[in-house]
Structure 1
Amino acid sequence: MTTDDVFSKFKALGNETLRRQNIKRGAHENQFGVKLGDIRNIAKKIKTDNKLAKALWETGNMEARLLSTLIIDTQLLSTDELDSMVRSEHVPQVADWLNAYVVKEHPEKEALRQRWMQTDHPMAARAGWSLTGGRIARSPEGLDIPALLDRIEAEMPGAAPETQWTMNMALAYIGIYHAAYRERALAIGDRLGIYRDYPVSKGCTSPFAPIWINEMVKRQG
């Protein structure tokens, strides 16, 4: 399958209403309005195609980049290539898929995490805090949790919105998974007030850290 073949499918599957909704959520004009499920179905047919994945990414089209994250061979990406991909994408949905399906599967993700935790670039920092959140929850050995709380307390209020989102996730994960630091995490979240008034759909948990922490701890029993 070629890039032209993929774009023909996107054009056939595109929906103008969804396209406008995507733009309201932060997407750019370079997209067709294709449902995420349809993109996943195309990926299942292609499976892995590194050459096509890189060509799709270079188009800058939103759906092409989403598909790219599903068919790229993560093991063949250099750290510099992945760093460039992370820094080049500002649409939250694409950045989230890139982090979930590529960054978190990369063999050098810890080295990248450490690099990105020291950068001012909003999307690279977003990825760094996302990886740090994963370590807080699943493999915290070697992490300095008090130092992370210090950074969150000092830096999150002035962080770019893209970075703020995953910093807040790291704060919530500290409160959820580390009882010894829960009180401080709750206090920081309450004092900063970030996402306190965030609109939440019925049945969903607020991203406001104190609510998020307390809800998840309650579920843990």
Structure 2
Amino acid sequence: MAELATMGDPARVAGRTRVGIRAGASYGVSLPDIRAMARRLGRDQALARALWVTGNHDARLLAPMVADPRETTEEDAELWALDFASWDVVDTCAINLLRKTPFAWALVERWSAREEEYIRRAAFALAATLTVHDRGTDDAPFRRVLMLAESAATDDRSFVKKAVSWALRDIGGRRPGLRGEAIALAERLRDSPSRAARWVGNDALKEFQKSRR
């Protein structure tokens, strides 16, 4: 923590606020510096847990980068999820840790039904991340994500609907066998009476149209 404190910049904390990051207690360490520190430290589950419980924003960005996915338990994931309060921490957990765990798909299913904004975001951020990295898996769990996305698309909270669109766009763009289903879902959402669903549908369709060019 002392080293993180020396790397901080208070101006960066203010900058994070401007992009919707609720930093709370934070030194304002840059993400490249946090990544470099994680590479130097290596995987250390005990350190990851200790960093997380500090409540410091920078420490919680570092924690999933040093956590060992082989030693991370579902209990760890659920405890950390209760503290999710910022989209960048959520996404860092999904990208750097949770996608590598054997229970990643179970979290997508379970968290998509949660009411908390950042836990529901985590479900779809994790689904989007799995779309990129879990290439050996067949289409079945990704098709299930499309069903979950259709249910969650009416959630008007900004960080949820952006993650739903992210997952929908990645599935349509990276899973050829599901592209047609993803486009059809986006079109249904575009025509929905729900304002949030229309936003998700239009956002995804813009991406699909770009990829046709």
Structure 1 residue 17 and structure 2 residue 6: aligned?
no
* Residue number among 165, 170, 173 corresponding to 2:167 in the alignment: 170
* Residue number among 178, 189, 193 corresponding to 2:198 in the alignment: 193
Shift of 1:33: 1.1
Higher mean C-alpha deviation, range 32-41 or range 163-172: 163-172
* Residue number among 139, 142, 146 corresponding to 2:140 in the alignment: 142
Percentage of pairs with the same residue: 20
The residue correspondences of 1:1-221 to structure 2 (distance < 5 A) are 7-25=1-19, 26-134=21-129, 138=135, 139-143=137-141, 145=143, 149=146, 151-176=148-173, 177=175, 178-191=178-191, 192-194=197-199, 208-218=203-213
Q: C-alpha deviations, 1:195-215, integer Å up to 9, x for none?
A: 69xxxxxxxxxx921111222
Q: Unmatched 5+ residue regions in structure 2?
A: 192-196
Contact in 1 for aligned 2:4/2:29 (Cα 8 Å)? yes
Letter in 2 for 1:14: G
- The aligned length equals 201
Q: C-alpha deviations, 1:104-127, integer Å up to 9, x for none?
A: 011222222232233333333222
TM value normalised by structure 2: 0.80
Contact in 2 for aligned 1:119/1:125 (Cα 8 Å)? yes
Letter in 2 for 1:54: R
Distance 1:86 1:103 in 2: 11
Q: C-alpha deviations, 1:163-199, integer Å up to 9, x for none?
A: 2222112322343332332542341353343169xxx
Higher CA-based Rg: 1
Over aligned residues, Cα RMSD in angstroms? Answer: 2.6
Shift of 1:143: 3.8
Q: C-alpha deviations, 1:9-63, integer Å up to 9, x for none?
A: 2222211221110122222331011111111121122112221211110011111
Q: C-alpha deviations, 1:112-145, integer Å up to 9, x for none?
A: 2232233333333222223434556643432483
Distance 1:27 1:117 in 2: 22
